[in-house]
Structure formats: structure tokens, C-alpha cells
Structure 1
Amino acid sequence: MTAPPIRRLFSRSITRTLLTPHPAEHYIRSLGLEWSDDPTGATVLTVDRPVPDVTVLRLRMPAGVKRPEPGAALEVGVVVNGVVHRRHYSPVDAATRADGLATIAVRRHPGGIVSEFLWDEAAPGMRLLLGDPAGEMSLPQTRPADILLVSGGSGITPMLSIASTLASEGHCADRDTGTLGPDLAITPSTQGRVAWLHYARRVEDVPFRDRLRELSRAGIDVQVIPTAEGTSTWGLDGHLTAAHLEAVAPWHPGATVFLCGPEGLATGLEDALGTDRFAEVLRERFTATVAEVPDTDGGAVTHVRSGVTAQNNGATLLEGAEAAGLNPQHGCRMGICHTCTAVRLSGATRDLRTGEVDSEPGCRVQICVSAPVGDVEIDL
């Protein structure tokens, strides 16, 4: 009797049930093998590096995986040195794309574990883990008539998805598409108006410039405004001002405004709009807020789903949870089986095997080998 191939074995529903709470891919990778038939992963089809420090990946999505709403993000995971690291990237495609593909852009950050890894290692055939769509900002199902997009740097990606979706739906179909900017003498269309101000150090630093030209031809008023050298097609340059808004979208007081970019851009937009108007802006924050890490271990641990908060004096999160009367899933208690993995929502923890302290919100940690460093919220 011939043993079934490992792929078929791990694909069987009974096997997947026995491996809960982790997908089969998790265990396959721990054996040093590649996995090409896991329904939770995406496959890299092409890799492009169109401008310095930006990796563009075209992915084949698994069947049945929900595409994020325009402006929202995919949770993408990679395995680096045996550890799963997860980040969020907004697909740049229109939500109407129906071929099962998605395109993401990853800006390389010095010292960034995931961005450096993908810059160095990404290649066709690579497998990426996928989580649930996430994000603070997305295009409403009932499309606003007038829309102003404001972005900077990597903030171009969620705006590309929003703009591409609107263009594919013909949102600006009656606009004059003969110029890059709007003709202010034209009567506004019944569909709506969309203007987009994107800020970058130089125009040459911006990826997807061909896509921006296509959007302009579809009636979206796109202005790439350089902050270091050069000017836009309308002679605009420098950081965002009220004059920029008036030049590109004088109708913005009645528009729905979307923002994604660094804090300096947000400050400029708040100054231009005023505090009350800025409070209405739909915003995707450029980076998560990371708490200050205390000098000593221990702190109050809040188990969010259980509603239990308990003081922990430096024991593992698993031991602390058990002392508080909880019974989290666990197995080996040695950091090997990953059964105890939970999401650290806020705060910092120390990996007791390596001494490394991490404070990035939303990361999965093994509670059997992680101790709190200050106050922590954990999804248990």
C-alpha cells in the first residue's frame, strides 16, 4: 500500500481539524517544506521594483478569499528565520477586479523585517500567508458625489484602490478627460467629481505613474506635488496648503475627504481645513501608535475577550492567565507547538527565549514564552 503524498494528506479535512488552531501550512513550513495548496495563502506571480525601495507584488488570491473594500488592507504574513511576521498592505486594484489577482506595493524601510525581506527575497512562486481584511478607511457602499483624496508616500496605495474603483464605475464619466487637470469652466457632471493630491519628494519617486495617467484620462483630477524638487503640472510644489486645495478642488468644502500619509501631511490638512472639518476626514493612519516600553518586566495584563485584568510580575502570559482563573489553549509550554498563539493588541512583551522586546500592536505572540513588559492587552 502506497502512502498518500504529503500534500494530499495535509489537505484532508480530518487532518486539518486535528491541526486546529493553525492551518496546515504552519506545520508544513516547520518541517522545512514548501506548501502550494493551502487555501489561506496567496502566491506571488510577478515581482517588480519600479522605483528605489518599492517592491510591487502581483498575487494570485485563494478562491473564496474576500477582497478588501477599496482603501482597506490585506493582512500579509511572511516567515523570516522561522518566525511569522504580519503586516497590512492595501491592494492598488479596483474592487471590481474579478480575475482573482491583487497587486500590493511594499516600501522598503531600513531595519524593517518584512519590507527588507520582500525587497531581498520576493520572487515568483513565493507563498504569503493571508489574514482578514483590515483598515480604518474604505470607500462607502453609497458613493459620495464629490471626493477629495490626499496622500503622501506609501499612502498612494489605498488611494489607488479608491480611485481605480471609482474610475471603473464611471464615477466621472461625464467629465472632460482631455486635460490632466479639471477645466473649471465645465459644468460639474451628474456622476461626481474626484480630485487627488499626492505628495512625494520627487515625481520620479512615485510608483504607478502610468496608472495615474490612466486615472486622469478617466476624469479623475490627479496632481502629484513634489516637496523637494520640481513642480506639478499646475506649478504646485512644497507641502500641503489651503492654496493647493483651492487650486485643485475649489469645491472641497462639500466633498468627502480621504487621507493617508505621514503626520506632517495630516497636520497640513488640518491647518487647511480647520479642526472641525478635519474631524470629518476619513483617515488611514500611516503607522500604528506604539506605546513607550518600560524598563522592567511585569504589569497589568488585560484579557480582552474574557474581561479579566490581572497583575503579572514577570511570569509568562500563559502562567498569568492561568493564575487569573483562565484556561487558554496551549500545548508544549516551550514555544514549539504554537498552540498558545494569541494576538497582543497593545503593550510590549519579551520573548523569554531571546530576550527580544516587541511592542507592535496586533502581533501574534506565543503566550507560553512571552512575558509582559508594562501593561498589556491580549486577545484572550
Structure 2
Amino acid sequence: MAHDHTDRYFPEVPMTAPTISRLFSRGITRTLLTPHPVEHYVRSLGVNWSDDPTGATVVAVDRPVADVTVITLRLPAGVDRPAPGAALEIGVVVDGVVQRRHYSPVDPATRSDGLATIAVRRHPGGVVSEYLWSEAAPGMRLLLGNPVGEVTLPESRPTDVLLVSGGSGITPMLSIASTLVGEGHCGDGATGRVAWLHYARRVEDVPFRDRIRELSRAGVEVRVVATSDPDPTAPSDPVSGDLVGHLTADHLDDVAPWHSDATVFLCGPDGLADGLADTLGADRYAEVLRERFTASTGPVPEGDGGTVTHVRSGVSAHNPGTTLLEGAEAAGLSPKHGCRMGICHTCTAVRVSGATRDLRTGEVDTEPGCLVQICVSAPVGDVEIEL
């Protein structure tokens, strides 16, 4: 049986010798079946594990703007930092339940001190972001999962790079831009060019403005664009320039008149993506490398559904026309998952046989042995899935 991000810890009990013996014998099967090392569970009993190979330690916390928590983590020995643009899976325990979210480190790939910096923006009702806003402090231990990401900087660096981001999309782009600068990709004497358009409601709401200014001085043509009327009392910012409002062709021409030949990276809300698509045109936009905040999904068409056999658990249940994840949960299973939006790939499982519909595109696929994201896939007829 697989476990998801709502795995519950054991209740706190006195750590006597008989208790440890009972926990050991009782927990062997759980340890074999859970994706998390046993030290995570034992640590909840009050035992500190200094050799935990999967946890990250908070070494510094800053809250530079009203709704952002900047956290510097020490990664475990032997854990590689994500490729520029990718995200770390961070887990916290809230009310006895493990909650996981993904955050992109802002650091360049050249950072070699074992530290990684993430920025967590508070969201209304956001369990993890609110918890880290109020509780994050040096010494805190966080669970750490595998890096994920739809878009990362390729090992063979493009000559010309245009970055377009909005809101929280600043973090993967900051890592990509910092990596390129650290490698001498742009600036005096370099053959490459890097430009960056970042959109925010107000310039003063943007974290890491000092780092952005450093990138500007190092050769990145960068603009921070306010989408609302600027505050006349706010100090001027050299990287904001004269650009205001939402993305236009003029914005692209201002920051990167050579953008027609550039590799374009995009991370931001759907409105920004729609604006870039309208500006570039369908053919050019199809080449854009995009990291999504959310995944737009449609409803399950009437008539879809079927009997879903969960091969590993041996449970078969009728799915009346919901996602495979929701169907499995209704059948009493707890598949591992993260975002529930088709972004993080945490819930990916093998479809052994049958057909499933991708609710983001509406496409039906029947290839046996195919990996599917069960949070955005629904059965079309009877399906066998490795859960």
C-alpha cells in the first residue's frame, strides 16, 4: 500500500525499552511499505536523528516583504541541489499530518556550500505557507523529497535566453539567471545574451531586489514591471525602468529586441501566459518552455468511468467518473500525491492496462505500461493501475 502526503505520525509515547521493542516489531511491515525512512516516524516520538539522510535543516529565515518567507536550508550530505529552475519537495508536519509543497531554490547551480535558499509566498488558506510564515526558525527540520520541475536550464546552454515571470515565478528564473551569470554566459566579452521580464503588482512587493540589481550590473537585461499604478511615494528602482502594465510586444522589444531567436522560459499565472501567447503567436509560443503554477483541467465527460483494479493493493472498485486519485481514496487507499493539479508528478503511477483521459487536454491514451498522473487522469472503461 502506498502512502501519500497525509501519512500520520505515531502518537507520542514514553520511550521505554519495552516500548521501543514493541515499536520495532510492530513497525517492520510499516517501514517496508512506507516511502519515508523510519527515522521520520521515530523522530515524532521525541528522538533526534542527526544522521537523517532526507531532512533539511533551516539555518536562516528572513521576511523581506509582507507576504514572503525566505528560508535558507542546509541540504543533507550527498543530496544534489536541483537543476536551475527545478523545485525541491518540502514537507512539514501540521496537526500531526505531513503536508508537502514544492519550492524552487533561487541559488545558482555553482553554489557549493551545501545551502539552498527558497522563498515561500503566503497564500490564503495555504497550510504549508502559513505554517512556515509563522513557525520557520533556525534549527527547524523539514522533510525533503525528490526535485521536480517541468522546465530546467538545459546542460547545453542556449546562446540567447529570455526569461518571463510573474509573482512567485521569480524563484526559478532567479536561479536560471544567476547560474548563467556565474558561468560567464553574458556580460562584457561574452557571446550569450540574457534578458528577464518580471511582473508584479508593485515593485516594492518583489523579494530579492538586491540580487536582481546585481544581475543587472553583471549583464542581464532585466526589468521589473508593475502591473498596477505605481506608488508615487515609493523610491525609484533602477531595474523597473519605464515599463508598466501587462506584457506587450513593446515590453519584449525593450528588454530583448533579439527575442525572436531566443530560447524563452516562462513561469507565472495563466494571464501572463495568455499575454505572451497573444504577443508571440501560436507557432512561436509553442516553443516556449513553461513552468506552471496551476493546471487547468476540464470535467470528466459523461460516460467515462469503469472498474479500476489497484494492482499492488489488490483492491478493485467502481470509479463513477472521477480522477484515479479520488477513486483510489474513495476505495480506502492513500496514494502518494502532492499538488493535486498535475504539476509536481508526485502521484505518477503505471497504468498497466486500459484507457485513461488526461483532464488537462481531454486526450485518451491506451498505451499499456504507461506512466500517468493520477490526480489529472480519469478512467475510460476498466483500468489496471499500479497502486
Same fold (TM over 0.5): yes
Aligned to 1:342: 335
Q: 1:94 to 1:16 in 2, by over 3 A?
A: farther
Identity value in percent: 66
Quick one: which of 263, 277, 294 aligns to 1:287? 294
In 1, the alpha carbon distance for the partners of 2:170 and 2:339 equals 27
Q: 1:51 to 1:318 in 2, by over 3 A?
A: closer
**1:125-164 to 2 correspondences below 5 Å:** 125-164=139-178
The total of aligned residue pairs comes to 320
**1:245-264 to 2 correspondences below 5 Å:** 245-264=252-271
Report how far residue 144 of structure 1 moved.
0.4
In 2, the alpha carbon distance for the partners of 1:141 and 1:224 equals 27
Contact 1:72–1:158 (Cα < 8 Å) also in 2: yes
Quick one: which of 52, 74, 80 aligns to 1:38? 52
Q: Root-mean-square deviation (CA), in Å? A: 3.9
3-state DSSP of counterpart to 1:71: coil
Deviates more, 1:22-31 or 1:36-45: 22-31
Deviates more, 1:58-67 or 1:19-28: 19-28
**1:242-321 to 2 correspondences below 5 Å:** 242-289=249-296, 301=308, 303=310, 311-312=318-319, 317=328
Contact 1:16–1:24 (Cα < 8 Å) also in 2: no
Aligned to 1:87: 101
Contact 1:300–1:375 (Cα < 8 Å) also in 2: no
Q: 1:379 to 1:196 in 2, by over 3 A?
A: farther
Contact 1:290–1:361 (Cα < 8 Å) also in 2: no
Report how far residue 316 of structure 1 moved.
8.6
3-state DSSP of counterpart to 2:64: coil
1:232-278 CA-to-partner distances (Å, cap 9, x unmatched) read 64311000001100111110000000000000000110011001100
3-state DSSP of counterpart to 1:50: strand
Aligned to 1:72: 86
In 1, the alpha carbon distance for the partners of 2:267 and 2:162 equals 12
Contact 2:100–2:338 (Cα < 8 Å) also in 1: no
Unaligned runs of 5+ in 2: 1-14, 22-26, 231-235, 348-374
1:83-120 CA-to-partner distances (Å, cap 9, x unmatched) read 11111100000011110000000000010010011001
Taking CA–CA contacts closer than 8 Å with sequence separation of 6 or more, which of the two structures ends up with the larger relative contact order? Answer: 2
TM-score under structure 1 length normalisation: 0.73
3-state DSSP of counterpart to 1:49: strand
3-state DSSP of counterpart to 2:335: strand
TM-score under structure 2 length normalisation: 0.72
Unaligned runs of 5+ in 1: 10-14, 175-188, 321-332, 334-339, 349-358, 365-371
Aligned to 2:131: 117
In 2, the alpha carbon distance for the partners of 1:17 and 1:218 equals 55
Report how far residue 19 of structure 1 moved.
3.0
3-state DSSP of counterpart to 2:100: strand
3-state DSSP of counterpart to 1:258: strand
